[in-house]
Structure 1
Amino acid sequence: MSTDAIDLLIKRELPAAVGGDRDAYGRIVAASQNVVTAVALAITRDVATSEDIAQEAFLSAWHNLRRLKNPSSFLPWLRQITRNLAHDHLRGRRNRMLQGEAADLAIQHAADPDGCPLEQALDAEREAVAADLISELPEDSREVLLLFYREGQSSKQVASLLGLSDAAVRKRLSRARQSVREDLLKRFGEFARSSAPSAAFAVGVTAALGISKPAAAAGLGLATRSIAGSMAARFALGMAGAAAGGLLGGLVAAWFARGIILDFADDDAERAMLLRFSRRYMLFSLVMVALIVATHLAFHDPGRTFIVIAVALLAMNWQLLVTLPRMMAPMFERDARRDPVGARQRLLAYRLTWGRAGLMVNNIIVIGSLVIARLHFG
């Protein structure tokens, strides 16, 4: 399909797609899938990963179609979404440990001597060849060269699809030809054509939409496993940040309110006991904050993050509802006998900071933050 035909198709189908027409959006996907997968492949150097990222880019664009004011900006916007997702993938992969299904699969392949080693070797070789071929090219020529071979070796077509001038495309093509051996360039051309997505790719994206309107994409995270993982990570980050922020707020309040419980102490021994408690409580709060954040960073699992948050809240509530009142009970009684009027005021100050009222406020802040994170991150 020529560039003019692609532009015309996008302008024609986009209004219907914005209105929720999945078939119209599917036609846009079919017309632009070559450029999107090429952009992703140039960055990730892995065909399967590039198609996953391209699918996520198309789904993300569908979700946000109503934000696009100018239909002619669709392709540049889509390319940028794809580049962002591809770079995010590479950054995440550098630090990500094998876990979940990936870990299970790796263990299974390593432990199963009957797991078709020839097929595994061929897959590994294909992936390595693809990565090596792309790595041999100048970085700014990878997208251009992939599309050049996929789009009938038309520099004008490539220029239009990538938003470049024809002269810029020709310059990058020339640089690639000068820096790469002719036989390697020929292999790359074969690889570029063979790795282009088939018609099934657009069908798969259209089927994955699974919703009636782009704006109603609350369930979009369930469309594909990669989208689900991304949304889960974002929600886990929201939970971790919300809970950590709430606990840190409680820690700061405890620091400034420690003088309230120290006023009940009658001698150095009682004062030292209360100071030990307040320091232990604050240290425990910091440990819980660190554990919540570490759980998110290590596992990217909202379920595990939520369990750690729940344990932290229960442990901290226990200290303020059970441990501290037991320590303070004799002091409260003694204070009430000495100065009944002043004791009521001091007891009220205690309840508003270290007691049930203060604890309730802190719990509301933490739980409220979690609810907001859940609504925001979906």
Structure 2
Amino acid sequence: MSNEAIDLLIKRELPAAVRGDRDAYGRIVIASQNTVTAVALAITRDVPASEDIAQEAFLSAWHHLPRLKNPSSFLPWLRQITRNLAHDHLRGGRNRPLGGEAAELAIQYAADPEGCPMQQALDAERDAVAADLISELPEESREALLLYYREGQSSKQVAMLLGLSDAAVRKRLSRARQSVREDLLARFSEFARSSAPSAAFAVGVTAALGITKPAAAAGLGIATKSIAGSLFARFALGFAGAASGGLLGGLVAAWFARSTLLDYAGDDAERGALNRFIHRYMGLSLAMIAVIIATHFVFRSEVHTFVAIAIALLLMNWQLLVMLPRLVDPLMARDARSDPAGARQRLLAYRLTWGRSGVLMSNIIVIGSLVIAHLHFA
């Protein structure tokens, strides 16, 4: 998204968000999530902690939106909230990055994912890269370099998101390039892109908004349970809405990650087969969302809604865990033979989007949304 588009989106959506429109605020989250997580990651050097802090920053901003008088001040205000939370995190002693030989060992361990369980490899790689690479960067360059690789290597885009001049960003990027070895910089660029938050992050933040409202809405007496009597509100905030939102988030993530799958195509026939799977998967997702919504409004029963959600999850998991591997596994084997070095990176990207890790994350988001909805109405 271009500088002008992000700025225009925030100015357009912010008034509705202040009035309590979660969808409007969700669109703001999607536009600014790279910035907020990069600011947190540059300080904490810990990917999971940075995403937790970013979520807390978005929720804090949501709750205090009425304090913001000028829409153009939103990004600077949000960045400062994030920095304060990240420094509080460090002062709390919760950040313990790897260093020295431990970091080197973790990098070597993560470089061979076949030699260990996948999750251990992913955790080791994240810890090692975050601790080792970010620590080697000049402190003032960390945010700029993370965003530079996450935002399509556009210094102007980074300048707008960080509230700096283009010249200042270019200077910080130059300092970073001069102080970091070329091989580490290449590793860092891959890390910056792979650690960027997916569409699932925004879905998680938006789902969490259901348990809080901006202060202005609270001041007007618009509490969540007071509007839950309407049919639409009960859908939006209840089990059906939570599950539909989670499935829709997975659908959006799949659309943006389709290139990860298509990279394995060797010819037009294989590309066509992969495209057919993607379209079938998305069509099934939309159909199951429609079934969940219809079940909610027709039967008005949590039991029937849960059955529809369970069937939807089973069908989606069957597509991704059974049908897709039959199609992709031969292509992966060929890829590993023809380009072993590149194949490992592509395999990691596949596992985080279409593979078991991506499926697990999607299920966690859907089930977590259901838990939040249950706790809200309990």
Per the normalisation by structure 2, the TM-score is 0.51
Q: Does 1:7 align with 2:1?
A: no
Q: Do the aligned partners of 1:22 and 1:212 also contact (CA within 8 Å) in 2?
A: no
Distance 2:13 2:126 in 1: 37
Partner amino acid, structure 2, of 1:80: Q
Counterpart in the other structure of 2:56: 56
* Matching of residues 219-298 of structure 1 within 5 Å: none
Distance 1:187 1:95 in 2: 22
Distance 1:126 1:30 in 2: 23
Counterpart in the other structure of 2:154: 154
Counterpart in the other structure of 2:47: 47
Structure showing greater Rg: 1
- CA gap 1:148/1:121 in 2 versus in 1, 3 angstroms: closer
Counterpart in the other structure of 1:197: 197
- CA gap 1:171/1:91 in 2 versus in 1, 3 angstroms: same
Q: Do the aligned partners of 1:21 and 1:212 also contact (CA within 8 Å) in 2?
A: no
Counterpart in the other structure of 1:177: 177
- CA gap 1:203/1:118 in 2 versus in 1, 3 angstroms: closer
- CA gap 1:80/1:184 in 2 versus in 1, 3 angstroms: same
SS in structure 1 at match of 2:141 = helix
- CA gap 1:125/1:158 in 2 versus in 1, 3 angstroms: closer
- CA gap 1:33/1:122 in 2 versus in 1, 3 angstroms: closer
Q: Does 1:65 align with 2:65?
A: yes
Q: Do the aligned partners of 1:63 and 1:217 also contact (CA within 8 Å) in 2?
A: no
For residues 276-304 of structure 1, give each alpha carbon's deviation from its aligned partner in whole angstroms, at most 9, with x where no partner exists: xxxxxxxxxxxxxxxxxxxxxxxxxxxxx
Q: Do the aligned partners of 1:44 and 1:90 also contact (CA within 8 Å) in 2?
A: yes
- CA gap 1:122/1:64 in 2 versus in 1, 3 angstroms: closer
- CA gap 1:51/1:94 in 2 versus in 1, 3 angstroms: closer
Aligned-residue CA RMSD (Å): 2.3
- CA gap 1:188/1:121 in 2 versus in 1, 3 angstroms: closer
Moved over 6 A (4+): 217-220
Distance 1:38 1:95 in 2: 16
Structure 1 position 95, deviation (Å):
10
Structure 1 position 217, deviation (Å):
6.7
Counterpart in the other structure of 2:366: none
Counterpart in the other structure of 2:138: 138
Aligned residues: 201
- CA gap 1:204/1:81 in 2 versus in 1, 3 angstroms: same
- CA gap 1:71/1:95 in 2 versus in 1, 3 angstroms: closer
- Bigger shift: residues 210-219 or 164-173: 210-219
For residues 230-250 of structure 1, give each alpha carbon's deviation from its aligned partner in whole angstroms, at most 9, with x where no partner exists: xxxxxxxxxxxxxxxxxxxxx
Counterpart in the other structure of 1:83: 83
Structure 1 position 75, deviation (Å):
0.1
Structure 1 position 124, deviation (Å):
3.0
- CA gap 1:136/1:24 in 2 versus in 1, 3 angstroms: same
Structure 1 position 128, deviation (Å):
1.9
Distance 1:28 1:95 in 2: 28
Structure 1 position 130, deviation (Å):
2.0
Partner amino acid, structure 1, of 2:37: T
Structure 1 position 93, deviation (Å):
1.5
For residues 302-354 of structure 1, give each alpha carbon's deviation from its aligned partner in whole angstroms, at most 9, with x where no partner exists: xxxxxxxxxxxxxxxxxxxxxxxxxxxxxxxxxxxxxxxxxxxxxxxxxxxxx
